[in-house]
């Protein structure tokens, strides 16, 4: 990362922290009773309050094998998330919400956001996650294979000696990871708006609950750690993993969190949340599934086998 890019990154990270603080300390008068209740529900969920796996990873003590396991399971989640997002697009209740869903989907697969008020597509800098925009719209943006988030994650995998076939496929997912991915498809992508909005609200809070910071911290420490490195197929030795994938999402998700309360208020005011109990149940069920994903990784890193709770196997049927 260049000095300039580093400065931009530091500024964006500082901005993210301010956004998080603003959400946490938002005056109660600005929030409707329903939104306040929703915020209380997601903020008090165990996986939003603390994440033992990523807290451990942040210490930079993971072995190469443990790092590979994280990247592999994350790559399965990253790839299968596309199905959940497409399901959300297909089930969108309005053309505007369909477009919002496609912003996320198109950006995931490689369309770079074109910042507002920028006439050119701004891609002279390239498609590296350290330089592409985290704001704007895919409308007028440029597609590049190299801007696909999955390709950035493949770069991380390659630095750890992993190949394309070691990443992203459903068959590579643990039971815990697949449970999370299937619940995303089912709940986050639900046709029932009370359910999908509850899941969206929960997911955005989970994504801004600090786990990206932990993963950035962990990989930064691992990169600085002396060691023999990883012998790659081409005979070279890798000592560092690229940080762009993790840092891009760290900034992106802080921005998403900034908008979630407003989006929730709007959806509620428009009468889209017909069943408040369902909304709450979906938010909790989605976060339970997030917790399963991390618990699966935590069990593997400890050399334990993870047993999916029987209660989480049932189809979400409310
Ligand atoms: Fe992504
Ligand atoms: Fe998000």
Which pLDDT does position 6 carry in this prediction? 46
Instruction: Note the ligand closest to the C-alpha atom of 202.
Output: 2
Which pLDDT does position 3 carry in this prediction? 40
Which pLDDT does position 303 carry in this prediction? 97
**Each residue of 100-113: pLDDT tens digit?**
999 999 999 999 99
Minimal CA–CA distance to 139: which of 180, 185, 99? 99
Q: Would you state the structure tokens that stand for residue 41, as one six-digit string?
A: 């529900």
pLDDT at 29 over 70: no
Which pLDDT does position 22 carry in this prediction? 45
pLDDT at 27 over 60: no
Minimal CA–CA distance to 276: which of 38, 48, 28, 31? 38
CB-CB contact of 76 with 109 (8 Å): no
Q: Compare 147 and 126 and report the one with higher pLDDT.
A: 147
- The rounded Å distance from CA 275 to ligand 1 centre is 30
Which pLDDT does position 128 carry in this prediction? 86
Which pLDDT does position 11 carry in this prediction? 46
- The rounded Å distance from CA 265 to ligand 2 centre is 17
**Each residue of 292-301: pLDDT tens digit?**
999 999 999 9
Q: 3-class SS at 86?
A: helix
CA 14 to centroid of chain Cα atoms: 19
Compute the average pLDDT of residues 277-289: 96
Compute the average pLDDT of residues 134-157: 94
Compute the average pLDDT of residues 270-279: 93
pLDDT at 19 over 50: no
Which pLDDT does position 312 carry in this prediction? 73
- The rounded Å distance from CA 8 to ligand 1 centre is 20
- Share the mean pLDDT of the chain: 88
**Each residue of 211-229: pLDDT tens digit?**
999 999 999 999 998 878 8
Instruction: Note the ligand closest to the C-alpha atom of 107.
Output: 1
Least confident of 2-11, 36-45, 58-67, 114-123: 2-11
Which pLDDT does position 23 carry in this prediction? 47
- The rounded Å distance from CA 110 to ligand 2 centre is 16
Q: Which residues surround ligand 1, an ion (CB under 5 A)?
A: 149
| DSSP-assigned beta bridge partners for residue 238 | 230
pLDDT at 17 over 50: no
CB-CB contact of 174 with 306 (8 Å): yes
Which pLDDT does position 1 carry in this prediction? 41
- The rounded Å distance from CA 72 to ligand 1 centre is 15
Minimal CA–CA distance to 137: which of 162, 165, 102, 109? 102
- The rounded Å distance from CA 243 to ligand 1 centre is 13
Please state, in angstroms and rounded to a whole number, the distance separating the CA atoms of residues 265 and 267.
6
Least confident of 10-19, 240-249, 251-260, 288-297: 10-19
Helix 149-159 to helix 64-90 angle (10° resolution) is 170
**Each residue of 5-14: pLDDT tens digit?**
444 444 444 4
Tell me which residue has tokens 């999908």.
196
- The rounded Å distance from CA 196 to ligand 2 centre is 14
CB-CB contact of 112 with 149 (8 Å): no
Compute the average pLDDT of residues 12-40: 63
Which pLDDT does position 315 carry in this prediction? 65
Which pLDDT does position 227 carry in this prediction? 79
């Amino acid at each position: 990362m260049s000095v300039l890019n580093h400065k931009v990154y530091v500024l964006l990270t500082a901005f993210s922290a301010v956004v998080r603080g603003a959400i946490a300390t938002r005056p109660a008068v600005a929030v409707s009773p329903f939104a306040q209740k929703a915020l209380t529900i997601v903020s008090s969920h165990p996986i939003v309050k603390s994440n033992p796996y990523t807290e451990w990873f942040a210490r930079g003590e993971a072995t190469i094998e443990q790092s590979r396991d994280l990247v592999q399971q994350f790559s399965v989640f990253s790839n299968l998330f596309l199905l959940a997002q497409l399901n959300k697009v297909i089930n969108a209740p309005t053309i505007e919400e369909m477009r919002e869903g496609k912003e996320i989907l198109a950006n995931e697969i490689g369309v770079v956001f074109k910042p507002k008020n920028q006439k050119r597509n701004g891609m002279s800098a390239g498609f590296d996650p350290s330089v592409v925009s985290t704001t704007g719209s895919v409308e007028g943006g440029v597609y590049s294979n190299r801007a696909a988030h999955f390709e950035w994650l493949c770069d991380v995998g390659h630095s750890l000696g992993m190949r394309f076939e070691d990443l992203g496929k459903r068959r590579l997912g643990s039971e815990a990871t697949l449970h999370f991915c299937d619940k995303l498809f089912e709940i986050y992508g639900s046709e029932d708006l009370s359910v999908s909005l509850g899941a969206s609200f929960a997911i955005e809070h989970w994504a801004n609950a600090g786990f990206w910071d932990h993963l950035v911290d962990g990989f930064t420490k691992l990169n600085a750690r002396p060691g023999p490195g990883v012998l790659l197929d081409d005979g070279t030795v890798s000592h560092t993993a690229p940080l762009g994938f993790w840092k891009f999402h760290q900034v992106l998700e802080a921005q998403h969190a900034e908008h979630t309360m407003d989006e929730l208020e709007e959806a509620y005011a428009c009468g889209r949340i017909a069943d408040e109990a369902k909304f709450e149940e979906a938010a909790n069920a989605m976060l339970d599934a997030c917790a399963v994903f991390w618990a699966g990784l935590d069990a593997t890193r400890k050399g334990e086998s993870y047993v999916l709770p029987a209660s989480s196997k049932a189809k979400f049927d409310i």
